[in-house]
Structure 1
């Protein structure tokens, strides 16, 4: 791994873990020292993260900040993810292997166990792994890359929303519905279930927004 790749991975981790907050200005000198790197690789990493939508240029002459997702940005993100989730489910309905389907069902069961244990962190981690496994099983690199980028943009928002037990139960029921349609080979229904899952996520986000949580 090059120094630039290492810097990119470390800064991305800090953002996704919440150690660097949305809207926070990134002091290159301090951040480079924190990571044990020179400013050259860090600047290259920040440019790459800007392309990924995780950081943004600050006010004139004030460097880079962690991107703050406004409500309009989040709404558009949900719109795009709905299309891609529907596409992924439809593709799987036409060609999922028994092994991949079994693996996905096990992942739904793991999420159900996390819900029963009241472990929101475990549920969220299993949720991320489930969706990534779907992308891998669908075997479409371009859509997978775009979808993963969209997920990163909304990481903190989705993590907050999915700390609610009712939201976790509803979300996992949608996962099961997607897999039922995929297993039956119902391409149209699978697409609809995939889009409905992301639409459900959007509704849960708006509900949380209205409650100020």
Structure 2
């Protein structure tokens, strides 16, 4: 028995632990505690989180699939640096998914959908009035997650979530000023109006306009957004990982042959 049961149990425990570790590393990246461009040191992360290197390694692989991490053979894994040009393209892709979800919701809102979204809009209004950017940002994420949940299927939701992960730090920076929060929430209110009117075309247009508005706010907060040089990266704090390279993380296609 000692040779059979532990294998299955250990596998389940490892998967569960890997999920927890991945969520924590993801949180560190999205909050800027681990800076864009930083090399992810498995040993340091394992020590920090109090786990072995195995779950950390698997967690990093999962984050690579999400687009948050890039791994280079013989060089290691790095927190992905998203250029301004890439960010602008990601906004465009989110606009398409959001517009479609809004159109579907307006055509036939699920029970309780309008009340749920209206409550979030009201809470965001209070956060904006209080100049509480972190609170507004968290509620904004909930609002957009709700749109995708109510108006799209699991596959579109996963794609949207991955796009959003790559844009988190950019989006957070674009919503720090009270007037930007109020502008963003006015766009949310326009969506609600279209849902209540059962107007799919208006909802689709409002959904796309909202993401375009986010793109515009991002561009206004990013000096390099109007430049052809994709050098701007998401801001972040510092971590006890290895110091980030002074250039973009190395890409697989550019690595030297040994």
**Shorter-chain TM-score category?**
over 0.9
1:25 to 36, 39, 53: 39
Aligned residues: 212
The RMSD of aligned alpha carbons is 1.7
Q: Secondary structure at the match of 1:132?
A: helix
- Rg larger for: 2
* Structure 1 residue 47 displacement after superposition: 0.9
Equivalent residues in 2 for 1:1-213 (5 A)?
Answer: 2-58=16-72, 61-210=74-223
Q: Secondary structure at the match of 1:154?
A: helix
User: Alpha-carbon deviation of 1:72?
Assistant: 1.7
After TM superposition, the score normalised by the length of structure 1 is 0.94
Q: CA deviation at 1:139?
A: 5.0
Q: Distance in 1 between matches of 2:214 and 2:151?
A: 21
Higher relative contact order (CA 8 A, sep 6+): 2
The gaps in structure 2 that reach 5 residues or longer are 1-14, 225-231, 236-258
Quote the offset at 1:138 in angstroms.
2.1
Which contiguous aligned blocks of 4+ residues in structure 1 show a shift greater than 6 angstroms?
none
Which protein is richer in helix relative to its size? 1
TM-score for the superposition, normalised by structure 2: 0.78
CA deviation digits over 1:26-51, x for unaligned, max 9? 11111111111111221111111101
SS at match of 2:70: strand
